[in-house]
Amino acid sequence: MNGLSMEAVAAARGFELIQECVYVPPLVKPPRVEAEPCFCSASEDGNESCHDTECINYATYVECPLNQCPTNSQCCNQRLQHPELFPRLEPFMTEMKGYGVRIRDAVAALAPIGEYVGEVINQKELFRRTTALGRLEINFYYIQLAPGVYIDARNRGGFTRFVNHSCNPNCKAEKWTVNGETRLLVFALRDLSAGEEITFDYQWTVLGRQRIKCFCGEPNCKGFIGDEVEQKVEETPQGMFQDPTEDDCDESLVGRKLRIFQRDDATFSVVIVKRYIPSTNEHEIADVMEEDNDGDDTSQDDPEIRTVVLSTLKWQIYVSFEGLSPEEVQKHVFSIPKVQRTVRDSPPPAMTSSPASATPPRPVTPLAGPKPTSFKLLLKGFSRACDEQFFRRMLGNRSSTLLSVDLFFVDTPVFGNVGWGVLEFSDANVYEAMRVRFDNKRLLTNTVRSFPATSKGLATFQRTKNSRRMLDQKPKRSESPAAPSPRRRSRSPERQPDVYCYGRKLNWVVDNIDPSPSRRSGMSAAVETTLRAKCTKLMMTVVKRLKFEREDASTAVILFHRYTSQHPMNVVNIEWLAATCLHVVLKSHSRQHDWHGFLQAVYAAKNQNDSSPTLKELAVVERHILSLEEQLLDGLRYDISSTDPFMMFDACFKGGNLADDEKVHRLGKYLISDSLPSTLWSQFQVECIVVVVLYIVSAAVRTVDDGLEPPPYLPRLSKSVRPAFDAALPPLLDLFCSKHDNPNNRPAILARVVQFVDAKDSSDAPAIHFIESPWYSAQKAWQTKQVQLTTDHIEAIVAIRRRAFLGRVKASVPWDLAGRDVYLQPWPYREPRNPSRRGMSEACLRELSTLVNLHARDPLLIVETIGIVFPQKRIETPERDTQIDLFPESKSAPPTGLQDNRHYLAFERPLHVMSSLLEANTKLPFPLRKRIVYDLFRSVALCHEHNIVHRFISPSNMFVFAHHVKLGGFYSARHVETKGSNSGGYTLTENEHGEHCTGAALHTTAPEILLGDRVYTKRSDLWTLGCVALNILLLGPPLIVGKEVSKQLDYLYRICGSPREDIWPEAMELPNFEPPKHNYQVRLRKVILSRMADFPVEAIEIFENVLSLDPKRRWPARRALQSPWFADATDIPLDFTVFPSTIENRIEKSSSKRKNNDSSTSSSDRRHRRRA
């Protein structure tokens, strides 16, 4: 139907084509209220103005008044008032969607397309019209304009009546205020070419679309218009606002939540009724900061109370759906609004029969009251994008009148992160103009409310700020240099840069968990406690069902507590979030499990039944878990480190008589399990809780007959520990008495604990320390700007190895990393041969978790991760594809720079890598090499104590700093199993086993792995440790070098002896075992002395035991550290600044190699051309 006009189509379809909205009684068009001029100035070069948020009218979605804007003809904020500038449109017939609308002229992104017009109706009329439609009707034309007000374009409308839905729309409608009237502007989301169809996304704006098939044909098409049925059932609101009934009056409103409108077409305020005053027929009300759907909102701390006469206002009352059947809920949703009545037994309001001549309603924010202190304005509800500079730009040439700005932000479940602020002005006119502009108006994405900052209001603001624990946030209050406040002449302290938090260890100990983010967002204490217990039970049930490690359950629970200590819980998806916590932990711990079985276990735990779910139900479980993974990791700032409380509790009994204290051991584990649902894990460090549990159960088990002597395994508490211990003791003792003992025994147990503490205090036992973490606070981490370090923030990049780079963070970044030299490695380190299709790569989470966790235990032994470097261009993923690969394999890796589509881990930059020192034949004194080996043994012992095997200990993974040597290269590290037939080991895959049998790793791989054993244990790690340590001490080639497995085993037998029944009987059962050709004796001592005649005898004893053929006979790293040879190792200073940096040598070597490759390639090309 090319060339067909809108009028012709309207006549054929039987509807009236209109150019502006028509108000259907009882609604009337609001009176014309011309907007105030903005503060912008006309530019001398004639450029356009008023087209961004620097214009106060544009920022608050208000069009500038015609002929009154200071920028005159340069004003671009009068789009709805100039319909003659809209592009030409024409209707056309689509293949599957009926009529559509396309554009005849090309337009640029954000350019206006037109106005969405129709009949403006109220909720009662909407109900009447929808009930008159047939049940099979699929065409709807209703868009909500304001609460209870809708635009219906079915019978009368404009071109937008024919705009079709798209899952990838090119247009959007926004609400703008023009001369006091709210109108819908349609604008382009991207550049549109001539002839392109105009589309909306109905999911956000149009009511009544469920399971209607979508024909948009976009690559990301969801198949149906709107959300799926499963999501809609879960996201059903818990209540709604309705017009009041005859019974909603007087004292019955006390404690209820109301919406109060200033006029029919205005936005509203949400308040709670505090008290009813019969003598004046007034209600005292207080504003509510957040509006949620559960009806459990609470007002501000010590809110400002004001009185209103509800009979003079339009208002609605909140009705909760709790306890109602689905039929009753449906009845409430589509019930006809009641006519608001005059309050009984009270004089009628001064109002004539004509709405147009009615007395103006009393404003929700009264102007009467205490006189404002100076000219200060209190704002609530703005987005984080509104900082001080934003408000100053908005004032244009009047910015000097803004004296100071004080802002802070809080998290809400509905609106996200919103701000409170106090703006101080020196000009009364500017103050009044800003107060009116911000009063219940949209500012960027949020509706903002403004109040005159009275003395009481300022006090409430400060108390609220303190209660939200925002005092430790970096100062935002500042002075205007143009107009300094006469009361404060001192300069503001220089703002320190934020600490970059992504991928770093954070301090998750919350000093005061009450009120929690969930409580602050309106959730009741009972609901919060129930949800915590429910989610903890879900994680524990899945772990027990699938026989995962005890560490997995406790780590997942602790991660869950960390997340909810900073973010409010959403009742719709909180159980899915708990399952996602466990899913992330399993990947970071390298647990090999059946994915299908895991989904079934989550489904059974959530629904509390053992019925077999369908494939569709399992797909829903999978989608929920994977969709929340990125939200969880970002909410934790990728800090997924943890401490296993059960393992720590077991460690307290090592070396003691466990049989005598079996009851203590059992009760202690029960108490730890009982405490997992509580918030104590967010208030105290894991070490603190474990020590308190140990004292409580020891005091409960011991009787008077046992005397007052404390058990030997109880640690002595240092003075720095006592405050945390004393704070954690009462809640844990209450929990113990309620679960495992008579509550009447509480005083006796408490007295015994005090006796034990005092007795230990007077002893000479070593004191335990669990002082507050020195790491950056998680609370501050969430308050900082959520901006990620990306590859384009790195400069001076040089490749020193295939997967290693040196670089420098640009000085312009706003974090503490600015200008810092870094060492970069891809994340994951190796390109995955079989990339993960279940969210984030397992290799990434495993490496990051291991690095952050171990470095927190001993920063002087483990290399420090200073952050994640994200891709410059965010990787796009299909919206509905649950099989997401966040780290795709790159096809062409530039050898000299970072790839824009890859993640990297940034480490502290070393002076050397140990391999480069050895390759450069650096003359390291033997005492220095001894200290290096000592620290290497300590690093491996630290890994093994946390059930981690490194697998690839090598000089290339040892990073040398000025005064330390740190272990790195944890990309292949694995958590070992602690139970079952493979206890203490990790089962290698075929590819992983092959990695140990090829290349340089072959020379340090344990003999049992070379003989085909697939279980890599801590003992296997010790063999590698011994080979690398000898290599460093002897300063030469590796001790055993074979080109293939058979040769390596032959050379190994020659030095360490042949396997025999009396030496290593299990070797005969390994899959690749072949009897050696000769029966060799152990010659390790002789070989070492042939390489270094004065090699210490005590050191030879260490390596004879570490390099034993039988894994069971190898010394653990901690046992080797007890050797007399290491007694003076800590006295040997480390100073590598005296050696020339070998990093630069490696850079030059890599550069010359690239030049040689380039020149050889050029020569080959020339020879090829000559032959041709």
Report how far residue 819's alpha carbon sits from residue 808's, in angstroms, rounded to the nearest whole number: 6
Radius of gyration of the chain (CA): 36
Give pLDDT, residue 955.
93
Closest CA to 781 of 601, 1036, 566, 965: 566
Q: Is residue 69 part of a domain?
A: no
DSSP three-state, residue 780: helix
Beta strands 716-717 and 767-768 are: parallel
* 582-600: pLDDT as tens digits: 999 999 888 888 899 999 9
The secondary structure of 439-485 as a DSSP string is TTEEETTEEEEEEE--HHHHHHHHHHHHHTT-TTSPP--EE-SSS--
Whether 856 shows a pLDDT value over 90: the answer reads no
Sequence-distant (6+) residues with CB within 8 A of 152 are 118, 119, 121, 126, 129, 141, 142
Distances 1000 to 89, 993, 995, 1022 between C-alpha atoms, Å: 69, 14, 10, 17
Tokens 């709805």 appear where? Answer: 80
Is 663 in the same domain as 560? no
DSSP 8-state assignment for residue 700: H
Report how far residue 111's alpha carbon sits from residue 105's, in angstroms, rounded to the nearest whole number: 12
Report how far residue 585's alpha carbon sits from residue 587's, in angstroms, rounded to the nearest whole number: 5
**Region 183-208: what's the mean pLDDT?**
79
Is 686 in the same domain as 608? no
Q: What is the CATH number of the domain that holds 798?
A: 3.30.200
Domain range for 19 is 6-30+78-200
Residue 1027 banded pLDDT, cuts 50, 70, 90: very high
DSSP 8-state assignment for residue 839: B
In one-letter notation, the amino acid at residue 1139 is: F
Q: Is residue 87 part of a domain?
A: yes
Give pLDDT, residue 1028.
95
**Region 3-15: what's the mean pLDDT?**
78
Report how far residue 86's alpha carbon sits from residue 83's, in angstroms, rounded to the nearest whole number: 5
DSSP three-state, residue 288: strand
Strands (E), 836-977: 865-869, 903-908, 912-913, 948-949, 958-960, 965-967, 974-975
Strands (E), 95-191: 99-103, 112-116, 118-122, 142-146, 149-157, 164-165, 171-178, 181-188
Whether 863 shows a pLDDT value over 90: the answer reads yes
How many structural domains does the chain have?
Answer: 7
Residue 360 banded pLDDT, cuts 50, 70, 90: very low
* 1145-1159: pLDDT as tens digits: 555 555 555 555 544
Is 951 in the same domain as 1016? yes
Strands (E), 864-911: 865-869, 903-908
Give pLDDT, residue 941.
94
Q: Number of C-alpha atoms within 13 angstroms, CB side, residue 111?
A: 16
Residue 979 banded pLDDT, cuts 50, 70, 90: low
In one-letter notation, the amino acid at residue 677 is: P
Beta strands 16-17 and 149-157 are: parallel
| Out of 287-301, 985-999, 1020-1034, least confident range | 287-301
Q: What are phi and psi for residue 196, nearest 5 degrees?
A: -80, 140
Residue predicted with more confidence, 1046 or 161: 1046
- Which range of 20-34, 83-97, 1112-1126 scores highest in mean pLDDT? It is 1112-1126
Is 637 in the same domain as 662? no
Core vs surface per residue 653-663: b (16+ CB within 10 A) or e: beeeeeeebee
Whether 1013 shows a pLDDT value over 70: the answer reads yes
**Region 182-199: what's the mean pLDDT?**
90
Q: Is residue 206 part of a domain?
A: no
* 790-827: pLDDT as tens digits: 998 999 898 888 788 999 999 888 888 888 999 999 98
Whether 601 shows a pLDDT value over 80: the answer reads yes
Residue 361 banded pLDDT, cuts 50, 70, 90: very low
CB 993, CB 889: distance < 8 Å: no
* 391-449: pLDDT as tens digits: 887 887 777 788 888 888 876 655 567 788 888 888 777 887 787 777 767 777 677 87
Report how far residue 955's alpha carbon sits from residue 917's, in angstroms, rounded to the nearest whole number: 9
CB 953, CB 1159: distance < 8 Å: no
**Region 340-353: what's the mean pLDDT?**
36
* 1052-1101: pLDDT as tens digits: 999 999 998 888 989 999 999 988 888 889 999 999 999 999 999 999 99
Is 767 in the same domain as 720? yes
Whether 1144 shows a pLDDT value over 90: the answer reads no
3-state helix, strand, coil in the chain (%, to 5): 40, 20, 45
Beta strands 118-122 and 22-23 are: parallel
In one-letter notation, the amino acid at residue 406 is: D
In one-letter notation, the amino acid at residue 13 is: R
Give pLDDT, residue 939.
96
In one-letter notation, the amino acid at residue 594 is: D
Q: Is residue 1104 part of a domain?
A: yes
Torsion angle in degrees (nearest 10) through CA of 870, 875, 881, 885: -60
Is 627 in the same domain as 675? no
Query: The pTM is what?
Result: 0.57
Residue 612 banded pLDDT, cuts 50, 70, 90: confident
CB 103, CB 117: distance < 8 Å: no
The three-point CA angle 976-982-986 to 5° equals 35
Closest CA to 427 of 371, 382, 483: 483
Alpha helices in 873-925 (DSSP H): 914-919
Q: What is the CATH number of the domain that holds 1119?
A: 1.10.510.10
Give pLDDT, residue 858.
87
Q: What is the CATH number of the domain that holds 629?
A: 1.10.472.10
Q: Is residue 71 part of a domain?
A: no
Is 637 in the same domain as 667? no
Q: For helices 1097-1106 and 1018-1034, what crossing angle results, to 10°?
A: 150
Whether 1001 shows a pLDDT value over 70: the answer reads yes
Q: Is residue 838 part of a domain?
A: no
| Out of 778-787, 871-880, 946-955, least confident range | 871-880
* 715-734: pLDDT as tens digits: 888 777 788 888 889 999 98
Is 1109 in the same domain as 977? yes
Residue predicted with more confidence, 861 or 830: 861
Domain boundary among 428, 454, 480: 454
Residue 1031 banded pLDDT, cuts 50, 70, 90: very high
DSSP 8-state assignment for residue 222: -
How long is the chain? 1172
Give pLDDT, residue 402.
83
CB 808, CB 794: distance < 8 Å: yes
Is 599 in the same domain as 653? no
Give pLDDT, residue 755.
87
Residue 299 banded pLDDT, cuts 50, 70, 90: very low
Instruction: Give the mean pLDDT of the chain.
Output: 78
Is 634 in the same domain as 652? no
Distances 233 to 237, 541, 615 between C-alpha atoms, Å: 9, 25, 19
Whether 296 shows a pLDDT value over 60: the answer reads no
Whether 567 shows a pLDDT value over 50: the answer reads yes
CB 95, CB 8: distance < 8 Å: no
Whether 1003 shows a pLDDT value over 90: the answer reads yes
Whether 173 shows a pLDDT value over 80: the answer reads yes
Is 967 in the same domain as 1116? yes
DSSP 8-state assignment for residue 804: E
**Proportion of the chain above pLDDT 90, given as a percent:** 25
Is 1030 in the same domain as 1135? yes
Whether 1109 shows a pLDDT value over 80: the answer reads yes
Helix/strand number for the chain, H first, E second:
33, 40
Beta strands 171-178 and 99-103 are: unpaired
Residue 328 banded pLDDT, cuts 50, 70, 90: low
Distances 719 to 732, 754, 758, 770, 795 between C-alpha atoms, Å: 21, 14, 12, 11, 47
Encoding tokens for residue 517?
A: 């983010």
* Ramachandran bin of 114, using left for φ above 0, alpha for ψ from -120 to 50, beta for the remaining angles: left
Q: What is the CATH number of the domain that holds 410?
A: 3.30.70.330
* 644-686: pLDDT as tens digits: 888 888 877 664 444 457 788 888 888 998 898 888 888 888 8
Burial of 1157 (0-12, 13-18, 19+ CB in 10 A): exposed
Whether 542 shows a pLDDT value over 70: the answer reads yes
Give pLDDT, residue 832.
53
Q: What is the CATH number of the domain that holds 100?
A: 2.170.270.10
Q: Is residue 797 part of a domain?
A: yes
* 199-234: pLDDT as tens digits: 888 754 444 444 577 888 888 787 776 654 444 334
Q: Is residue 64 part of a domain?
A: no
Residue 493 banded pLDDT, cuts 50, 70, 90: very low
Q: Number of C-alpha atoms within 13 angstroms, CB side, residue 76?
A: 15
